[in-house]
Amino acid sequence: MTAVQGTAVDIPTADGVADAYLVHPADGRPHPGVLFFQDAYGLRPHLRAMADRLAAAGYTVLVPNVFYRAGRAPVVPLGEFIDPSADPTLWERLGPLVGSVGAAEASRDADACLGWLADSPLVDDGPVAVTGYCMGARLALRVAATHPGRVAAAAGFHGGGLATDAPDSPHLGAGNITAELYFGHADQDHSLPEEQIRLLEETLTAAGVRHTCEVYEGARHGYTQADTPAYDREADERHWSALLGLLKRAL
C-alpha cells in the first residue's frame, strides 16, 4: 500500500479560519485533489482514516471542519464509538451545527477550500473531485453546481435532503453541473425518502448530467461510518469501489 503523510492545516475563509486535515502520498509529488466533506459527527479519527485510504490510492485529500464557525474540531467531543441511542442529548448539540451550514456558507467555504487546493504544490493542475457523507453529500452536490469549471467528479453516500421542496434544495443546481456524479443511497434512510431519490434522478437526467444513482439494499443511513452502529462492511466496500472507479474515470 502506498505510504501517506497527513497533517493538520488551516484554511482562511471569508468567515474565519477552517481547521482541516490534509493527507497525500508520501512521495511529495503533486496528485489529483479531492475535497472530502464530513458527516454530521464531524472531523474525527475515523474520517481521517477514510481520507488516508483515499490518499493511498493516489490522491491529495483535504477534509475541512465545516463546523469551524463554532470552533475547532472536535466541536462536539465524541467517544471512540458513537452511539446516539446511548446519548439522548447528542443530536440536541449536533442539530444546530448541521443547520448552520447552508447554501451560502457552503459556497464561501468551497471557494476557500478549492482555492487552497489550487495553490498547493501537492495538488496537480487538473480538475478536482468532491466526495461527501450524510450532510457532506449535500455539500458535494452544491459544490459541483457552484464550481462547474473546477469539479470533474462528485460523489455522495447516505446523503439526506438532496432533493427537497426548499427554495435552495441542492438538486436545483443540476443545470450548472458539468461533473460526473455518483450517489450511493441507503434504502433504510428517513432523511432521503423514495420521492426525493426519484426527484433527484429525474432532475439530473433532465439536466443532462452524467450520473449514477444506486440504492444499497439493506444499508442504513451512515453505512460507511465504522465508528457507529450503522456501519455495514459490505455496503462500505461497495462505496469504496464506486468512489475509486469514479475518481479514476474523472481525474
d(CA 68, CA 45): 17
Quick one: pLDDT band at residue 5, thresholds 50, 70, 90? very high
Tell me the per-residue pLDDT of 16-27, one tens digit each, with 9 for 90 and over.
Answer: 999 999 999 999
The pLDDT tens digits for 209-244 are: 999 999 999 999 999 999 999 999 999 999 999 999
- Is residue 81 over pLDDT 80? yes
60-64 sheet: strands from edge to edge: 4-13, 16-25, 60-64, 33-37, 128-133, 151-157, 180-188, 211-220
Could you tell me which CATH class the domain 4-250 is placed in?
alpha beta
Total-model pTM? 0.98
Please give the pLDDT value at position 1. Answer: 72
The residue with cell 465504522 is: 226
In 101-169 the beta strands, taken as DSSP E runs, fall at 128-133, 151-157
- For 157-168, what is each residue's pLDDT tens digit? 999 999 999 999
Query: C-alpha distances in angstroms, 45 versus 6, 49, 122?
Result: 12, 6, 22
Amino acid at the residue 107:
S
Domain chopping of the chain, boundaries: 4-250
Q: How far is 231 from 221, CA to CA, in rounded Å?
A: 9
Instruction: Give, in order, the Cα–Cα distances in Å from 251 to each of 12, 14, 243, 246.
Output: 26, 28, 12, 8
Mean per-residue pLDDT, 183-201: 96
Dihedral of CA 33/183/167/172: which sign? positive
pLDDT value, residue 161: 97
Q: What's the rounded mean pLDDT across residues 186-201?
A: 96
Burial of 88 (C-beta count, 10 Å sphere; 0-12/13-18/19+): exposed
Share of the chain above pLDDT 70, in %: 100
Q: State the pLDDT confidence band at 30, using cuts at 50, 70 and 90.
A: very high
Segment 96-122 shows an average pLDDT of 97
Q: Is the pLDDT of residue 89 over 80?
A: yes
The answer to whether the beta carbons of residues 178 and 204 sit under 8 Å apart is: no
The residue length of the chain stands at: 251
Strand pairing report for 211-220 and 180-188: parallel
On average, the pLDDT of the chain sits at 97
SS3 content of the chain, % helix, strand, coil (to 5): 40, 25, 35
Mean pLDDT calculated for residue range 88-92: 93
